[in-house]
Amino acid sequence: MTKVCIFGLGYIGLPTAAMFAANGVEVIGIDINDKIIHTLINGGIHIQEYGLAAIVKQSIESGFLKPTFEPEPADAFIIAVPTPFYEDKRADMRAVAAAAEAIVPHLRKGNLVILESTSPPLTTINLLKPILEKSGLTAGKDFHLAYSPERVLPGQILKELVNNARVIGGIDIASAKAGQNLYATFVKGDIVLTDATTAEMVKLMENTYRDINIAVANEFSRLAERFGIDVWEAIRIANLHPRVKILNPGPGVGGHCISVDPWFLVEAAPDLTSLIHSARQVNDSQPAYVVRLVLKALGESLSNKKIAALGLTYKQDVDDLRESPAVETARLLAKHGVRVVAFEPYRPDAQFEGFETSGSLEGALVDADLILILVGHKQFQELTPDYVKQISHARMIVDSVNIFPISIWQSAGFRLIRLGVGKS
């Protein structure tokens, strides 16, 4: 296969496009957002991801990657557009359907169509196939159709795209094999073939499993506070057991994957998903839990108090703000009447409804009464008591991600309150 059309130049589509282009495949990269297309054409990039800017620039300069709005006939079509949810948590599949419709006029015999976007079970067969067959061609007979979930971790996307095992679920064996043939261009990990619905479930199960594991860690943190112990110490010791791997509590679960995907299963089979549903509710209520911790620390009078909220992205050392529990926490806190000034080093210019932001760490810290750590960015891990003392009179810290060593900060005169620590 020498020419591929990729729909969606976001966190997955763009790195995938660049990997194909870097390996000599002609890539037509399609996006509906003209800011993205123009940024790319002009040598820039709209995503911060380690190593990505260089490989994208090189691919565009070499002519192998062409960012544009319109698809062209190609050997393969890959759909990597977002699948968010509506307010009521139902999957919003409009972008997938629109990409499929855009493929129809260009679909030829022998083509391969692959869906990468995380989707509810049966999407490939029940949503994608009928749209593509409007072309007059039959899936499985005239063209190949497969689902191949992206499974890369933001922050390590390029490495994981190449080295992770890649699942390819075909609507038949020939479709799965065509997918294998395509991804073997750059994938060094195992390529595992299965059917389309199994591949859809694999992706949803992976992220749901992680969500539930984080939910139990969050519930453990609440129990630890009630019973006067340090959850971080308890988890460390429990994880010495050879078959236990508890994840970390925190302000909640964000991002466009783990906080979204389990809802696809709840929507598809509400009668079978009470555990999955509860885990989502536990993780979604975690910002309110952190807020309670802060309010308790501040005491009675909240007006005239300023909180420096450090970190707004959905996790450490990425620039992605989607579904971020840190943003939700800052917003909830501000609703209680305290002044919240947040600083996000990866998005210093971002603005939010409901609370203030500062373009610099100093701007957030100055005049603050309490420092709230919401994301464990490396920059915050490196903060020292001496530095903070120079800038701020705040001597109270609420650390929701456990990045500040208690002994160092307490001996420097700070009151450090950590999520999940009853003794504090």
305 is catalytic: no
Report the nearest approach of ligand SAJ to the CB of residue 13 (Å).
12
Q: Which of 29, 67, 250, 262 binds ligand SAJ (CB under 6 A)?
A: 250
Please give the DSSP secondary-structure letter assigned to residue 153. P
Residue 86 token pair = 């509506």
Report the nearest approach of ligand SAJ to the CB of residue 332 (Å).
16
CA pair distance 247, 249, nearest whole angstrom: 7
Q: Which of 158, 212, 253, 419 binds ligand SAJ (CB under 6 A)?
A: 253
- Report 113-172 residues binding ligand SAJ (CB under 6 A): 118, 150-154
Does residue 321 touch ligand SAJ according to CB under 6 A? no
Report the nearest approach of ligand SAJ to the CB of residue 405 (Å).
19
Q: Which strands, in side-by-side order, build the sheet including 76-79?
A: 65-68, 26-30, 3-7, 76-79, 112-115, 144-147, 166-170, 191-195
| CA nearest to 265, candidates 89, 80, 87 | 89
Report the nearest approach of ligand SAJ to the CB of residue 320 (Å).
8
Q: Could you give the string, one character per residue 198-237, with x where binding to ligand SAJ holds by CB under 6 A and - elsewhere?
A: --------xx--x---x-----------------------
- Residue with nearest beta carbon to ligand SAJ: 257
CA pair distance 111, 380, nearest whole angstrom: 49
- Is residue 186 within 8 A of residue 19, CB to CB? The reply is yes
Does residue 254 touch ligand SAJ according to CB under 6 A? yes
Out of 129, 203, 306, 315, pick the active-site residue. Answer: 203
Out of 5, 129, 257, 306, pick the active-site residue. Answer: 257
CA pair distance 144, 118, nearest whole angstrom: 19
Task: Select 171 or 326, whichever has its Cβ closest to ligand SAJ.
Answer: 326
Q: Could you give the string, one character per residue 95-114, with x where binding to ligand SAJ holds by CB under 6 A and - elsewhere?
A: --------------------
| CA nearest to 248, candidates 284, 215, 225 | 215
Please give the DSSP secondary-structure letter assigned to residue 375. S
At position 141, the amino acid (one-letter code) is K
Q: How far is CA 384 from the centre of its chain?
A: 29
Residue 337 buriedness (CB in 10 A; 0-12 / 13-18 / 19+): exposed
257 is catalytic: yes
Report the nearest approach of ligand SAJ to the CB of residue 355 (Å).
19
At position 143, the amino acid (one-letter code) is F
Q: Which residues are catalytic?
A: 203, 257
Question: Interface with ligand SAJ by CB under 6 A: which residues?
Answer: 118, 150-154, 206-207, 210, 214, 247-248, 250, 253-255, 257-258, 314-315
